[in-house]
Structure formats: C-alpha cells, structure tokens
Homo-oligomer: A and B are copies of this chain.
Amino acid sequence: AQTTRIAVTPGDGIGPEVVGEAIRCLETLRTKHNLNLEWDQFPWPSHAWHKEHGESMPDDALAQLKAYDAILLGALGDPGPLDDPDRYLLTDSVSLAPLLEMRKGFDQWVCERPARLLPGARQYLADERAKDIDMLVIRENSEGEYVSQGGRLRKGTEDEVATQMEVFTRKATNRIIRYGFEQARARAAERVKESRTRSFHTLDGTACESQVCLITKRNALRYWGDMYSEAFEEISKEYPDVATHHELVDAACMKFVQSPWAFDVVVASNLQGDILTDLAAVLSGGMGVAPSCNLNPTDPGMPSMFEPTHGSAPDIAGQGLADPTAMLFTTARMLEWFGRKDPVMAAAGKELFDAVAADLAENAGAQRGTREIGEAVCQRLSA
C-alpha cells in the first residue's frame, strides 16, 4: 500500500508542545499496527518564520504541502511585542492568515466540527441533558462571507464607506448540503451499529434516524438565504430517510444553549458556521477538547488540514502546561479521515479517540502537564 504522508506544522505558542504529544501517539500507533505512515515537520507557518523572513510561510509553501495527504497544525498566533493578544490583532493579524490560505489553496470546502459532551469535559449548561449533546456542525469553508471582496472608500474620513461582499455559488451550496445529508446518513448507520438510536421527524410526520438542520438568515439576507433554502429543499428529496429542519442563525444560537441535544447534523455558511462551531465547542467542554477538520473530500490530490480550534496561548507557552487533549482528538479525526480507504487506519483513529476520551473521563479536573497527559494516552494505546 501507499505511504500516507503528514505535514506537521506546529506553529506558535503552545503549538509545538501539543503537537509533540500528537507525534508521540502517532509513533505508538504506527509501531503497534505497523501503519504505513510518515511525517515531516515544518517551521512554518509561524510567527518566528515571519519575524525572520517577513512572511508567515515561504512563497512555495502550498506547493510543498501539496505533496502530503494531510496537514496537522498545532496553533497559530503570537502576541509579538505587545502583551495583549487582542491588541496585537488590531495592528497585525497576519499570523492567522495561513489558515485561510490553506483552506482556499487546497479547496478544503468542508469544515467539520463534531460536538459531544464527553464524560470529564466541562459542562457549562445547567440541564443534565447536556450529556446527550451529539451534533456535527458542517461549515461551508470555501466562499460566502469569506471571499475577501470589498474595500474602504474615503478611508479614515468622516465620509468613509466600507463594503464587504458575500458571494455564494450554487455549486458550493449544493456540495456542502449534499455532504451534510451524507454525514447524517453515515452517523445514523454508525448509531445503529452501536445500538444507539435517535428519533427525528420529517414535516409529514415520518420517523427518521437522523436530521439535517440548515442555518440561514434568510429573513434579512434574502439572496443567498433563498438560494440555500431552495437547494436544501431540492437535495433533501434525494434523502427521504433524513429529516430536515431550518433555523435562522440567531434562533439557532439560542437553541444551541436551550436544547443542543436536539440537533444532529447542522449545515451553515462560512461565517455563521464559524460562530456556531465556536458555540458548539463550548457546549462540548470548550476549546480544550474541540477538534476541527478542514476537508477536501472530492480531490484526493489536495491535502486536508486538521487543527484544534484553540489559540496559541502565548501566556503559558513553553511551560509544559498546555492541555493536548484537543490536539489528540484532532489527530484521531485525521486518522479516521485516512480510514475512509483503509480500515486499519480507521481502527487506529478510533483507538486514539477512545484512549483520549477514557483519559479525559478518568482525570476530570486534575491538574496535569502536557507531557503527563500525552504519556497517559500513550500508555493506554500500548496496553
């Protein structure tokens, strides 16, 4: 079989530390299962590289990364000379730009962020049903509000006008919605295998095992809101076994807090997905456990990118204090992604997920260092 190759980009702050534990786990799994897996580390994108070379990554960065099957990214962002990270962003947010460049350059048109409140993770909601949260937020990752079109007229004057264009294509809309339905089906099949069931209803009352909820703000942003809705209605006909639902983004935020356990698959635009995935991450315990996958499911020549959604936490960087849990869940997701074509890889991903979840459940609230957590997970894997 062909070797699966990973480009490891540790990035800034705590990135290298948490990535170190991911590598340790990958090493353990490779040895144990004789996985045909290789990786190379890159010193970019990073703030350090930027300081030395005046840019976050070399000109041919994407060309170099394209040779890999996946990118495993630690964390980006550095406060630079100012010690308020927020302040830093005000003057220079260049250090986060590579994220968007990779998504765009490799047409990673799906951003997938699962949210489950696992035992041991922090529960922010009062309602005990929070334990049943099990949703997958699927964010359109290639266009929409993120096309970077617009400008500033009469910049800096009292008469300034700033514009920002949102551009949505039917093609990208169709593919993300169809992807949502496919995931809903796959999740339902998974649940049936594990003898878990969920129950949803179509508009005419038919019982379903799964649901896709479409998010728009079509009562104010009509043009793409209507297009999204029409595409959703049309494509849903191909999936009579999946229930459909629609929420306006503002109501969805409310319902994420009031009854998140009622959601299954959620499909949202780039910006609305950005917002909802952060909210979903909190509902499943916070950034310390949240994985994020930027996927190109259609072009095998393009690497997908896997990153925890947390920041680079410069305040605790280099001290061995960062929690690698989100990074390890992210790594498990990456293996599962490779597992689409390779059952051994899929099993390894599941094994890593289970080990991290078990570690989390057993050590809820314990103060442990980066290495300690990484080693505990590795021990489970070796056991």
Q: Is A254 an interface residue (CB 8 A)?
A: yes
Stretch from A21-29, A161-169, A356-364, A372-380 contacting the other chain? A161-169
**CB-CB under 8 A for A275 and B275, given A156-B230, A230-B156:** yes
Q: For residue A278, which residues in chain B have a CB less than 8 angstroms away from its CB?
A: 250-251, 253-254
Stretch from A46-54, A86-94, A343-351 contacting the other chain? A86-94
B287 and A254 contacting across the interface, CB-CB below 8 Å: yes
Q: For residue A100, which residues in chain B have a CB less than 8 angstroms away from its CB?
A: 220
A249 and B275 contacting across the interface, CB-CB below 8 Å: yes
Output the residue of A125, A164, A174 with the most chain B CB within 10 A.
Answer: A164
B250 and A87 contacting across the interface, CB-CB below 8 Å: no
CA distance in complex: A166, B233 (Å): 27
For the complex, would chain A's binding face be called helix, strand, loop or mixed by DSSP majority? mixed
Stretch from A33-41, A145-153, A295-303 contacting the other chain? A145-153
Q: Is A229 an interface residue (CB 8 A)?
A: yes
Q: For residue A258, which residues in chain B have a CB less than 8 angstroms away from its CB?
A: 124, 282, 286
Q: Is A257 an interface residue (CB 8 A)?
A: yes
Q: For residue A257, which residues in chain B have a CB less than 8 angstroms away from its CB?
A: 124, 257, 279, 282-283
Q: Is A30 an interface residue (CB 8 A)?
A: no
A165 and B168 contacting across the interface, CB-CB below 8 Å: no
Contacts from A to B (Cβ < 8 Å): 84, 86-87, 89-90, 93, 96, 100, 123-127, 145-146, 148, 150-152, 154-171, 174, 203, 217-224, 226-227, 229-230, 233, 245-251, 253-254, 257-258, 271, 274-275, 277-279, 281-283, 286-287
Beyond A124-B125, A160-B169, 6 extra complex contacts between A and B, CB < 8 Å: A89-B219, A90-B246, A165-B166, A217-B271, A220-B274, A251-B278
Some 5 contacts from A to B, beta carbons below 8 A apart, are A90-B218, A148-B222, A151-B223, A157-B170, A217-B274
